[in-house]
């Protein structure tokens, strides 16, 4: 009887996990599809255009992940509040998220726009494409307030269990981006569809057109997600004060700050990593950019499940249900690892065809395929780390992931890449080998953390 009850509980929990995870996966799949299309469209303009767009990609990760860390603080607070049945606290936290969007969005806009001319130099971008890379970056960061709203408000909605609204908005944003890319990147030309030939207008803006298309899409997304949050029954900030509320801000910051420092430190590492690769030349930069784009699609199962893990762990923590928290962990890991084994195998076999979508250079295709097949083998190990980190974010434990990620990034990936490329001239393959070593290092640390129960806040209660 007990066994039957437990089985029903597991199936019920699996359904909840899937209901939360699939919209996030689909949203990320759409984003990745558009990233594929963007890269392919720009790639048709030549290797230099691809390099100009990709040269500052890691800096985009730095800014984006630092902002998303702010959202993690609100995710932990709101998921815990709703798990405890404290709906008013969740709404007050949403109003503080609005305040954070205004403050963070304005500050980041001023900094990124002001430094847009210098960033390509710091990234060691080739002088021939430096001005173009700077213009692309500037246009991309002018609507930073809207981008911040999309990131933080999207996290607030997911913390409330609403993963479908961000997904739907993501679909709209991606469609806007693709249509505008089609109109702004290319010149006016003759097109043939089903034997019907017609003149298609085009602005012929090239890389700049791609930036303008993305900027407009960001604005649309920021406006739509703000409207959805305002109307949401559980986390609408309507009627709440926008004055700073330290009772909410302090616990959110306790979770957000280590996560923010982690993302800032690791993303800064990505910048250093990319600058070393940029110094290897256009072919390595293009292959690295394309490989990153291709690889991102195969992380979708991992990060989709991470959102569900963080939300459900926060709910269980708020409900003071240690048994449910442990059951969630036991269910998430096998599901996640199975998904990542499947995605890793697909990446390994599909790598040549996928890289060839974005470039017709044999050298770029060969190099991109090699590094993708290398990283495909490490996907299941990385998947474990993603879920463990998500569970820890949900219960507000962000200090250990901060330490693990900073040490792994700087002592394993950056130092290793610096030695391999700077002293032994081993090129892109060696740099990606260092990246894989970083992922395996994180797997070992998170596995030890899980085995010893250091991630579980109820462990401290039992020990006391």
End-to-end CA distance of the chain: 33
Instruction: Tell me the β-bridge partners of 197.
Output: 192
What is the model's pLDDT at position 10?
Answer: 58
Q: Is the pLDDT of residue 281 over 50?
A: yes
- Please report where in the chains the tokens 């640390």 appear, as a residue: 445
Q: How far is CA 177 from CA 173, 184, 213, 221, 389, in A?
A: 6, 10, 5, 10, 31
> Among 348, 292, 316, which residue's Cα sits nearest to residue 38?
292
Q: Is the pLDDT of residue 388 over 60?
A: yes
Give per-residue pLDDT as tens, 153-187.
Answer: 998 998 888 888 988 998 899 889 889 988 998 88
Instruction: Identify the band that residue 5 occupies on the pLDDT scale cut at 50, 70 and 90.
Output: very low
Express the helix, strand and coil content of the chain in percent, nearest 5 each.
Answer: 80, 5, 15
CA distance 308 to 450: 18
Joined tokens for residue 381: 């190990």
Give per-residue pLDDT as tens, 77-100.
Answer: 888 888 888 888 889 999 999 999
CA distance 338 to 199: 49
What is the model's pLDDT at position 460?
Answer: 59
Say if residues 42 and 182 touch (Cβ distance below 8 Å).
no
What is the model's pLDDT at position 417?
Answer: 93
DSSP per position, 25-61:
HHHHHHHHHHHHHHHHHHHTT-HHHHHHHHTTHHHHH
> Among 17, 8, 294, which residue's Cα sits nearest to residue 163?
17
Q: What mean pLDDT is predicted for residues 386-412?
A: 91
Instruction: Identify the band that residue 418 occupies on the pLDDT scale cut at 50, 70 and 90.
Output: very high
Q: Is the pLDDT of residue 409 over 90?
A: yes
Q: Is the pLDDT of residue 266 over 90?
A: no
User: pLDDT > 90: what percent of the chain?
Assistant: 30
Give per-residue pLDDT as tens, 21-42.
Answer: 777 777 777 766 666 676 677 7
Joined tokens for residue 243: 């004055």
> Among 277, 441, 303, which residue's Cα sits nearest to residue 368?
277
Give per-residue pLDDT as tens, 420-447.
Answer: 988 888 889 999 999 999 999 999 999 9
What is the model's pLDDT at position 6?
Answer: 47
CA distance 97 to 94: 5
Q: Point out the least confidently predicted range of 53-57, 358-362, 369-373.
A: 53-57
CA distance 265 to 164: 31
Cβ within 8 Å of residue 451, ≥6 positions away: none
Structure pTM?
A: 0.73
What is the model's pLDDT at position 302?
Answer: 77
């Amino acid at each position: 009887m007990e066994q039957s009850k437990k089985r029903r509980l597991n199936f019920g929990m699996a359904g909840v996990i899937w209901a939360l995870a699939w919209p996030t996966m689909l949203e990320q799949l759409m984003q990745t599809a558009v990233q594929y299309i963007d890269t392919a469209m720009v790639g048709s303009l030549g290797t230099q255009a691809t390099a100009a767009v990709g040269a500052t990609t890691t800096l985009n990760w730095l800014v984006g992940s630092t902002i998303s860390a702010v959202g993690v603080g609100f995710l932990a607070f709101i998921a815990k509040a709703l798990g405890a049945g404290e709906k008013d606290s969740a709404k007050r936290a949403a109003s503080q998220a609005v305040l954070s969007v205004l403050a963070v969005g304005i500050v980041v806009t001023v900094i990124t726009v002001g430094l847009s001319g210098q960033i390509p130099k710091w990234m060691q971008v080739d002088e021939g494409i430096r001005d173009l890379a700077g213009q692309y970056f500037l246009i991309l960061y002018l609507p930073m307030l809207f981008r911040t709203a999309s990131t933080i408000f999207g996290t607030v909605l997911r913390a409330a269990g609403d993963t479908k609204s961000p997904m739907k908005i993501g679909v709209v944003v991606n469609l806007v981006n693709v249509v505008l890319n089609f109109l702004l990147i290319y010149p006016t030309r003759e097109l043939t569809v089903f034997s019907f030939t017609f003149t298609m207008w085009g602005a012929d803006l090239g890389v700049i057109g791609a930036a303008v298309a993305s900027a407009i899409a960001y604005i649309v997304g920021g406006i739509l997600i703000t409207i959805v949050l305002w109307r949401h029954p559980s986390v609408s900030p309507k009627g709440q004060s926008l004055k700073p509320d330290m009772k909410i801000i302090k616990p959110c910051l306790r979770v957000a700050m280590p996560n923010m420092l982690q993302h800032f430190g690791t993303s800064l590492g990505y910048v250093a990593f990319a600058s070393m690769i940029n110094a290897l030349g256009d072919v390595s930069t293009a292959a690295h950019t394309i490989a990153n784009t291709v690889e991102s699609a195969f992380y979708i199962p991992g990060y989709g499940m991470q959102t569900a893990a963080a939300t459900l762990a926060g709910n269980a923590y708020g409900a003071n249900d240690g048994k449910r928290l442990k059951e969630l962990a036991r269910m998430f890991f096998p599901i996640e690892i199975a998904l990542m084994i499947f995605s890793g195998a697909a990446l390994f076999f599909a790598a040549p065809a996928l890289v060839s979508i974005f470039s017709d250079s044999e050298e770029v295709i060969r190099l991109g395929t090699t590094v993708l097949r290398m990283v495909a083998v490490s996907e299941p190990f990385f998947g474990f780390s993603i879920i463990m980190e998500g569970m820890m974010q949900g219960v507000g434990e962000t200090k250990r992931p901060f330490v693990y990620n900073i040490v792994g990034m700087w002592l394993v990936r950056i130092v290793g890449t610096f030695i391999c490329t700077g002293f032994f001239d081993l090129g892109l393959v060696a740099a990606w080998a260092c990246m894989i070593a970083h992922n395996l290092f994180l797997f070992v640390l998170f596995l030890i953390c899980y085995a010893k129960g250091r991630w579980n806040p109820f462990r401290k209660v039992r020990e006391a």
